[in-house]
Structure 1
Amino acid sequence: MSQPIQVSFIGSGVIYYKGRDIGNCSAADITYDVDKQTLPNYRGGGGNADVYERISAVNLALGITSLNAANLALLNNASVTTLTGQDVTDEAITVSELDRLLRVDHMIDTAQAVTVKDALDAAVPALHSVNGTPNYTVTSAGIIVPTGSEIEALDEIKVTYKVPAGYLLQALLTFGEEGDVVIDGLNDINGKRHVIDCWRWKPSPTGISAITTEFATATVTGELLSDENKPAGTSKFFRITAAS
């Protein structure tokens, strides 16, 4: 079958890691690290008499725009556990300083009622009983007691709140994970499909951007390792199957 001379390419597709659709991806780049040795031409005229190149690494980098729990775990070599939500009653906190965040043990569901009591179990109103200014402010992370509050520095308070359902990610606990990657791709120029099979991808921790001014994209990089179980004549790293 004759092949066309010019095939323009704009790629898109769905990427699966260990069979899991990892969501919208802005990039998928396979690159090589090459060790190169040259034998200079000493006979005049410049250039090299010979060159030797060895592939030292095969790399796959994915640009991930879907920062769900599973993908955040991938970016941070993390474990993830599901939080079903719970009630926290009378968590004891010392007001170490005023106008500072007092971190609670969990995350506060700010859509639910939060109560604060003093050391004698008397309820502390949210607003000052005399001037109506806040006695405390509730955030997802904890409590802030402002200057002028009826709560004073070094007071002991008790906070009752609800923890929202969600997840808990513990970073850098799952080193050594690897799995297969399948890129179910499309050339948007001509509508032709292609599939890229990567046998063994070992991602490295990349980290996250906690504050952004644009839609976040996180790039997770990793090495495509040699699969020694592949038979002769088959790539030990990846293959591409494409429609003509």
Structure 2
Amino acid sequence: MSETVTESYIGSGIVYVNGRDVGNASGVKIDIEQETKEQPNYRGGGGNAAEITKVKSVKLSMTLNDFSNANLALGLRGKVEVLTAGAVTDEVITAILDGLADTAKMIDTTIPPVVTNAAGSTTYDVDVDYVVSAGGIRALSTGAITAAESLKVSYTSKAGNALQALVESGAEVKVIVDGVNDATGKPYTLKFYRWKPSPTSGLDLIGDDFGSFDIEGGVLADSSIVATGKSKFFVRSAA
């Protein structure tokens, strides 16, 4: 008598894109679109004499909860540039009273900037004439800076990275899910050989809850896999 084996499933795991851990991913989903061709039965009685179902496309989507520039580059077809810290001297900005005059680079706010008038003869006081943020200088209407005044600001730029959005045509990447079935404790892996993500449909950048964003793309056939019975799209291995 054969034994019936059941295995409940609650999936969790770490998602790697080209070997990079993308951080917390709250969802990974596969969608397979199929196309059926039918040959009607013309011999009486209706129905079909034959039919064939083909895979039209394979889609992989994931919900990412980590807003790193590397992750956003996947969803925005972007390029990530490394920013190095450095001294910026006498960058010219135009004052906007109680509004932000942005600087060319992010300001390291742990190092006080120096803000002067255009001639350099007057040095303004932080938190009296202006406040500073990573984005730039906000002149205070209660201070000595006048509206639309030309200012010079010297500051230290902050190290980090910058995302240049929508500058790439879309890269193909390898995706591996190194997972665990939480219902059984058994490990599994999912390996997608070629994934080409499309730009995300939108990003919620300000809100009162933890953010996430969705990325979807086509899983393409890997023509280098020619062995009989081996998938060109993806493989799932489980203990």
Q: What TM-score do you get using the length of structure 1 for normalisation? A: 0.85
Q: CA deviation at 1:125?
A: 2.9
Contact 1:75 1:208 in 2 (8 A): no
C-alpha distance after superposition, 1:199-230 (max 9, x if no partner):
11111121533213222222211110011221
Partner of 1:180: 174
1:141 and 1:220, CA in 2 relative to 1: closer, same or farther beyond 3 A? Answer: same
Structure 2 CA distance for aligned equivalents of residues 171 and 10 of structure 1: 35
1:187 and 1:148, CA in 2 relative to 1: closer, same or farther beyond 3 A? Answer: closer
Q: Which amino acid aligns with 1:190?
A: T
Structure 2 CA distance for aligned equivalents of residues 3 and 240 of structure 1: 24
Structure 1 CA distance for aligned equivalents of residues 12 and 51 of structure 2: 36
Structure 1 residue 189 and structure 2 residue 188: aligned? Answer: no
1:154 and 1:21, CA in 2 relative to 1: closer, same or farther beyond 3 A? Answer: closer
Matches within 5 A, 1:90-239: 90-95=90-95, 97-126=96-125, 134-206=128-200, 207-231=202-226, 232-239=228-235
Q: CA deviation at 1:237?
A: 0.7
Structure 1, gaps ≥5 residues long? 128-132
Q: CA deviation at 1:54?
A: 2.8
Contact 1:33 1:55 in 2 (8 A): yes
Structure 2 CA distance for aligned equivalents of residues 204 and 23 of structure 1: 20
Partner of 1:7: 7
Query: Residue 203 of structure 2: SS of its match in structure 1?
Result: coil
Query: Residue 71 of structure 2: SS of its match in structure 1?
Result: helix
Q: Which amino acid aligns with 1:118?
A: N
Contact 2:73 2:165 in 1 (8 A): yes
1:41 and 1:134, CA in 2 relative to 1: closer, same or farther beyond 3 A? Answer: farther
RMSD of equivalent CA atoms: 2.5
Contact 1:82 1:168 in 2 (8 A): yes
Q: What TM-score do you get using the length of structure 2 for normalisation? A: 0.87
Structure 2 CA distance for aligned equivalents of residues 55 and 168 of structure 1: 39
Q: Which amino acid aligns with 1:94?
A: T
Partner of 1:240: 236
Contact 2:198 2:215 in 1 (8 A): yes
Contact 2:65 2:213 in 1 (8 A): yes
Structure 1 CA distance for aligned equivalents of residues 176 and 154 of structure 2: 47
Q: CA deviation at 1:184?
A: 1.6
Q: CA deviation at 1:42?
A: 9.5
1:185 and 1:161, CA in 2 relative to 1: closer, same or farther beyond 3 A? Answer: same
1:160 and 1:4, CA in 2 relative to 1: closer, same or farther beyond 3 A? Answer: farther
Structure 2 CA distance for aligned equivalents of residues 195 and 4 of structure 1: 24
The percent of aligned pairs where both chains have the same amino acid is: 38
Query: Residue 34 of structure 2: SS of its match in structure 1?
Result: strand
Structure 2, gaps ≥5 residues long? none
Structure 1 CA distance for aligned equivalents of residues 44 and 131 of structure 2: 80
Query: Residue 16 of structure 1: SS of its match in structure 2?
Result: strand
Q: Which amino acid aligns with 1:168?
A: A
Structure 1 residue 27 and structure 2 residue 27: aligned? Answer: yes
1:199 and 1:146, CA in 2 relative to 1: closer, same or farther beyond 3 A? Answer: same
C-alpha distance after superposition, 1:57-77 (max 9, x if no partner):
101111222222321221221
Q: CA deviation at 1:186?
A: 1.3
C-alpha distance after superposition, 1:130-163 (max 9, x if no partner):
xxx8322222211122334322123221011111
Partner of 1:130: none
Matches within 5 A, 1:49-88: 49=48, 52-88=52-88
